[in-house]
Structure 1
Amino acid sequence: STDSDIYLYDLATKKARNLCKPEGYKAPEVDVTKSLRNQKVNHQEGDMQVGYDQNPQFSPDGKYLTWVSMEHDGYESDLKRLCLYELATGKKSYVVNSDNLETDVNEYCWAPDSKSIFLTACWHATVRIYQVGLDRVVKQVTDDSWNDYGSLAVLNNKQLLASRQSMLNADDLYVITLAKKEKKAEVKAITDENGHIFSQLATPTVQQRWVKTTDGKQELVWIVLPPHFDANKKYPTLLFCEGGPQSPVSQFWSYRWNFYIMAAKGYVVVAPNRRGLPGFGKAWNEEVSRDWSGQCMRDYLSAIDDAATNLPFVDRDRLGAVGASFGGFSVYYLAGHHDKRFKCFISHDGAFNLESMYTDTEEAWFSNWEYDDAYWNKDKSEAARRTYENSPHRFVDKWDTPILCIHGEKDYRINANQGFGAFNAARMRGIPAELLIYPDENHWVLKPQNGVLWQRTYFNWLDRWLKK
């Protein structure tokens, strides 16, 4: 279950009251071997919230309480709405939901006058700052520049403090001075933490490209070009496969999946916002669930095929595909379905055998929602049957391309046996393969020296197969 609740605790009476469900609420029984999507828990009448509720904040005047709320039990990537609770009356409403902002509410904070709320949300692959009044009117505060804002706080009636990053810059702090009427806010940096390092480096170039998908829609793709880029040259190129599966390919800065470093090493990066990512509407975001091997995979191939065909500097004979988590699953799947597009693969913490993962993961609700059914259910849905039949391990007989597998042994989300299995399968097929195992890392690589080893191994593998 993903069901969590917000409680109001009275310091005088020392009693707690559940604000998400009525008194005496008893959850319906569920079949834990099936998705909660169509079970009674997600189809009840009355005033109750059965999804993931988190981050409660009082308004400065003490009249309201807000929190981020998901609608459905069992769906960890459900739309994050902003619930407004009036303390005097107990009235509950949604100041932000799909009606006025069709993307997730990330961080938020109250304005000092308690009449509005500031929040960050991703739209078209950038994380912007918005302001919403109690009348539910949403106003975009920052402009459409290619940046991601976070760590939001109020300084005073006219100014906010936030962090900002992009694919070309690590986090710094900024003061955002609010503008009147329809103008966008003034944004001023107050730190330059890594300026002395960046000033010594040649900078890559980031471009935005819209690509037509196989079903006639438009997909936003980031193209990152190496420093000192020469359009007359041909460059080895990487398809970046995002994890999540529902995490945006926004203007993020990472100390592992770092596009700046990849470009600086001489690679063009193709990073698509494929089906199943937030920031393009609720329907686009949800289209990956129960269809891991479907349209999202075709979206990946649309992005790399467009680059290889229409960007003359992309060397179609030196393409690689890389990714972690769901991106790692994507790499394992593409390894059996790429029609010789790619010359090498790298999968980090990827799901290889979905039947095994169903019972191996600590996030049982995740597998249930995404796959629909336990693999042993005789009455499993068509989506579940399709999911298991398209598990990457079933297509190893078609693997023909060198692959590097990376995994952490403390990863309980996607267990290290998935990486062991993929590596062994490749080696038994006679395919060049390497395995990097971290005994002391989980689903991420958090220790600095492990990160250095990760980067060294990652680029040694790419250089070996894409720079001959």
Structure 2
Amino acid sequence: PDMPKVNIRIANDMMYRHWNYWRDGSFSHIFIASYSDGQIGEAKDIMEGEAWDAPMSPYFSDSDIAWSPCGKVLAYACKKYYGKNLATTTNSDIYLYHVDENLTENITEGMMGYDLHPTFSPDGKQVAWQSMETPGYESDKHRLFVMNLKTGHRMYITKGFDQNADNIAWSGCGSNIIFTSGINATEQIYKVNLKTKEIRKITDGWHNYTWFAPAKGTLVAQKMSMSMATELFTINPETGEETQLTFINKNIYDNIKMGEVTQRWVKTTDGKQMLVWVILPPNFDPNKEYPALLYCQGGPQSAVSQFFSYRWNFQIMAANDYVIVAPNRRGLPSFGQEWNAQISGDYSGQNIKDYLSAIDNVKQEPWVDEDRLGAVGASYGGYSVYYLAGVHENRFKAFIAHNGMFNFESFFASTEETFFPNHDFGGPYWDKDNKVAQRTYANSPHKLVHKWDTPIMIIVGEHDYRIAYTEGLQAFNAAQLLGVPSRLLVFPDETHFVTKPQNAVVWQREFFSWLDEWLKK
């Protein structure tokens, strides 16, 4: 009170900020109220006095809350930890709040990974949810579990299925559960019979089904592809037959030409096959030579699937007369758990070789100018660009890194979800007896920066609390001191992503201005 102009934050524990906001001592809680004749009754906090968030921070998704059909039980997911414990664990649980008794029970006690997205069966006798097994591993297999609420018996429904189960929903009769899952860099809709555990793929094709809802014997779903922003479709759950409902962008598509999206399987250095998307310019001429861009994916466990985004958009890149090479390197889902898990503890290893295998394969095409190659990426993809800048042996002529990890030690000590580097790096940098961790830190990009000699543009958002924007400042300052042509873009009001419309337009302009300067001379 005696110093009204003071502006300060004080922390006595970890997780003082999360993703894009600083914690201020308040929490997101679930409230319930009666509803009758259009009137809402007095609201009741079912988590009164509890110092944690539901829905969970930082995304606060309502998919983590579900009412039972009778309206007497509420299921929700929550991480009931605080501070350092919250920062170092993925252990969330599914809780059932019994309205009449004012009691809460934990139905996933002893399951130490993420437990998320509960949903009740139509008769209210069972609850299904998504579960991960490994503590601290945020990209573990998304398992489908079902519990009989009368007996308490848990069933692991997708035990023999080597992919994830997402967006789970019950069929109208309650004998099946429908879900989405990745397969070969696409997102399809599946159905599992709860009695036989038989899993059947309903849809097929080069697309992503990102959400759906059962509706009177059919499914209403959101579908996208690299050449189509999200539209609504209906799907026959028995035949997979699709009918498009919305045509929001038809007038735009009718007046532009899309580049051809192609697929190839490339042999990796360890003898495996890797799916690589190659997107060609809209007016592709096989007799011309084009510059090519290697796209490095973030995550790191996030598939290069048939996504459409206004941020990283392959059709926009191709429309600027670039061939786009988008590999599903090691560490990406939809190719089985072994492929997905391999990257943990091996950041500078096989997945980097996979990137080079992809670009080395495509650059042999007569329509690619191997003297005009670039590499771009964000987050883990930004790290990949920083690392490639030190090992690429003159393959590339330009780089763009967006919010990437440059110095693994400073990243470990500044990120908010410490469970992530604890698992994927192998542990903290001060654990000198940990061989996996020490190998990770020994291959941090900043230790190869003396080999940088290729123009690089670096982009950061000051409100990125996952990978602090100072990672990019370190990289830019190093490039400048080394005399490497470099440019720094700082967005003071953006996070890990650039989401504000005008900022996004400037991002695209700067992106192509930099690439054109070095790859189209």
Normalising by structure 1, we get a TM-score of 0.91
Mapped to 2, the partners of 1:438 and 1:103 lie a distance apart of 37
Whether the aligned pair in 1 keeps the contact of 2:171 and 2:178 (CA below 8 Å) is: yes
Aligned counterpart, 1:30: none
Deviations 1:294-313 (A, max 9, x none): 0000000000000012x211
Whether the aligned pair in 2 keeps the contact of 1:52 and 1:71 (CA below 8 Å) is: yes
1:19 to 94, 107, 110: 107
2:341 to 281, 286, 293: 286
Aligned counterpart, 1:357: 411
Aligned counterpart, 2:182: 122
Q: How does 1:10-409 map to 2 (within 5 A)?
A: 10-21=98-109, 48-97=110-159, 99=160, 101-134=161-194, 135-143=196-204, 145-157=205-217, 159-179=218-238, 184-309=239-364, 311-379=365-433, 381-409=434-462
CA drift at 1:373:
2.1
Moved over 4 A (4+): none
Q: Secondary structure at the match of 2:333?
A: coil
Larger CA deviation: 69-78 vs 211-220: 69-78
Q: Secondary structure at the match of 2:419?
A: helix
Q: Secondary structure at the match of 1:107?
A: strand
Mapped to 1, the partners of 2:197 and 2:481 lie a distance apart of 59
Identity among equivalent positions (%) equals: 52
Whether the aligned pair in 1 keeps the contact of 2:461 and 2:490 (CA below 8 Å) is: yes
Mapped to 2, the partners of 1:312 and 1:53 lie a distance apart of 50
Mapped to 1, the partners of 2:272 and 2:313 lie a distance apart of 28
CA drift at 1:104:
1.4
Whether the aligned pair in 1 keeps the contact of 2:274 and 2:327 (CA below 8 Å) is: yes
Mapped to 2, the partners of 1:435 and 1:105 lie a distance apart of 40
Whether the aligned pair in 1 keeps the contact of 2:432 and 2:438 (CA below 8 Å) is: no
Aligned counterpart, 2:4: none
- Letter of the structure 2 residue corresponding to residue 343 of structure 1: K
CA drift at 1:178:
2.7
Q: Secondary structure at the match of 2:222?
A: strand
CA drift at 1:441:
0.7
Whether the aligned pair in 2 keeps the contact of 1:345 and 1:402 (CA below 8 Å) is: yes
Mapped to 1, the partners of 2:401 and 2:163 lie a distance apart of 28
Mapped to 2, the partners of 1:125 and 1:198 lie a distance apart of 24
Deviations 1:15-56 (A, max 9, x none): 1110011xxxxxxxxxxxxxxxxxxxxxxxxxx211011110
- Letter of the structure 2 residue corresponding to residue 92 of structure 1: R
CA drift at 1:73:
1.4
Whether the aligned pair in 2 keeps the contact of 1:329 and 1:351 (CA below 8 Å) is: yes
Deviations 1:312-335 (A, max 9, x none): 111100000000000000000000
- Structure 1: 5+ residue stretches without partners: 22-47
- Letter of the structure 1 residue corresponding to residue 504 of structure 2: G
Mapped to 2, the partners of 1:373 and 1:250 lie a distance apart of 30
Q: How does 1:428-467 map to 2 (within 5 A)?
A: 428-467=481-520
CA drift at 1:162:
0.4
- Letter of the structure 1 residue corresponding to residue 303 of structure 2: P
Whether the aligned pair in 1 keeps the contact of 2:431 and 2:437 (CA below 8 Å) is: no
- Letter of the structure 2 residue corresponding to residue 137 of structure 1: E
CA drift at 1:88:
1.2
CA drift at 1:378:
2.7
Mapped to 1, the partners of 2:248 and 2:213 lie a distance apart of 19
CA drift at 1:363:
1.1
Aligned counterpart, 1:38: none
- Letter of the structure 2 residue corresponding to residue 115 of structure 1: S
Mapped to 2, the partners of 1:443 and 1:2 lie a distance apart of 21
Mapped to 1, the partners of 2:425 and 2:317 lie a distance apart of 33
Mapped to 1, the partners of 2:162 and 2:135 lie a distance apart of 20
Whether the aligned pair in 1 keeps the contact of 2:345 and 2:425 (CA below 8 Å) is: yes
Q: Secondary structure at the match of 1:387?
A: helix
How many residue pairs were aligned? 432
Alignment of 1:4 onto 2:4:
no
CA drift at 1:176:
0.3
Mapped to 2, the partners of 1:226 and 1:7 lie a distance apart of 51
Whether the aligned pair in 1 keeps the contact of 2:129 and 2:168 (CA below 8 Å) is: no
Mapped to 2, the partners of 1:150 and 1:193 lie a distance apart of 17
Mapped to 1, the partners of 2:400 and 2:174 lie a distance apart of 49
Mapped to 1, the partners of 2:429 and 2:203 lie a distance apart of 47
- Letter of the structure 2 residue corresponding to residue 332 of structure 1: Y
Deviations 1:185-236 (A, max 9, x none): 1101000111111111111000000000000000000000001111111000
- Letter of the structure 2 residue corresponding to residue 104 of structure 1: N
Q: How does 1:416-427 map to 2 (within 5 A)?
A: 416-427=469-480
- Letter of the structure 1 residue corresponding to residue 314 of structure 2: F
- Structure 2: 5+ residue stretches without partners: 1-88
CA drift at 1:429:
0.4
Mapped to 2, the partners of 1:132 and 1:5 lie a distance apart of 24
Mapped to 2, the partners of 1:82 and 1:177 lie a distance apart of 23
Whether the aligned pair in 2 keeps the contact of 1:108 and 1:152 (CA below 8 Å) is: no
Q: Secondary structure at the match of 1:384?
A: helix
Mapped to 1, the partners of 2:309 and 2:165 lie a distance apart of 21
Mapped to 1, the partners of 2:306 and 2:164 lie a distance apart of 16
Mapped to 2, the partners of 1:108 and 1:171 lie a distance apart of 20
Whether the aligned pair in 1 keeps the contact of 2:136 and 2:423 (CA below 8 Å) is: yes
CA drift at 1:146:
0.3
Deviations 1:143-184 (A, max 9, x none): 2x1000022101112x100000000010000000133xxxx4
Mapped to 2, the partners of 1:378 and 1:403 lie a distance apart of 33
CA drift at 1:351:
0.1
